[in-house]
Amino acid sequence: MMLEGRVAVVTGGGRGIGRETALLFASEGARVVVSDLGGAVGGGGSDASVAQSVVDEIKAAGGEAVANGADVATMAGAKSVIDNAMDSYGRVDALVNGAGILRTGKVDEIGEDLWDEVMRVNLKSVFAMTHYAAPRMKQQRTGSIIAISSASGFGHYGMSAYITTKEGLVAFTRGIARELGEYGIRANAIRPCAETRMLLPDVVEDMNYVINELGLSRLLPRSRSRPRSRWSSTISYTSGVPSTGSERFGG
């Protein structure tokens, strides 16, 4: 158990890469706050059982975890998640910002509401969570904050809103790395290309259109998708909270 005594908060922890990350952290002894609104991939709706099911799985394996179903794209929701961690476990060692939605559409066809909602969930949530986690980590003089960007940030057809948020996360991470580094807090962003529910049929259709109809395969990332479990190991390694066999990474 390499993570005994550590506490990790994982937003978007109920599904996909977030779920695999929460399970991996717990398997290494970390106590985990699984944060997930349980909404649809394009936003909307909520389901408390999404986060709770991961907590149940962690507990069944002998680990410790609590669920939080708040909307982390609101300041009150983000605060409740960090408060949940502090009330339950007394500290926050790692924050993995994985909450996000995906909506597609060409730039001249999407509306303001779509654009604003993608920005709210994918970008504001990361600011809000970091805003409340950072003071706790400063007090501890240690911590790790990871943003889940995306390989799509290099450019995808019909995804201007989504890719804007994912590149925004990279810039945000560079900024907070400079601000928080003196307190022993690491900040990193990763760009996964993974097999998750965000590979929607309409996204795949857009990709095929770019390749087959327009002949513009160069607009798509060349990296192959990796299983979600592979990316959870990358997140663990990057956080400086290593999985078994990893060396400590301080980025």
The set of catalytic residues is 162
Going edge to edge, which strands form the sheet with 7-11?
A: 65-68, 31-35, 7-11, 94-97, 143-148, 185-190
Which positions ≥6 away from 128 have C-beta within 8 Å? 72, 73, 74, 75, 77, 78, 79
H-only helix segments in 151-210: 160-180, 201-208
Residue with tokens 């005994």: 4
> How far apart are alpha carbons 241 and 221 in whole angstroms?
29
The secondary element (H helix, E strand) that includes residue 127 is: helix 125-140
Beta strands in the chain (DSSP E): 7-11, 31-35, 65-68, 94-97, 143-148, 185-190
Chain mean position to CA 159: 18
Residue 181 CB: number of other CB atoms within 10 A?
Answer: 12
Angle, CA of 23, 3 and 126, to the nearest 5°:
60
C-alpha to C-alpha distances, 215 to 160, 205, 210, 212, 243, nearest whole angstrom: 19, 14, 6, 5, 42
Q: What six digits make up the tokens of 23? A: 């399970």
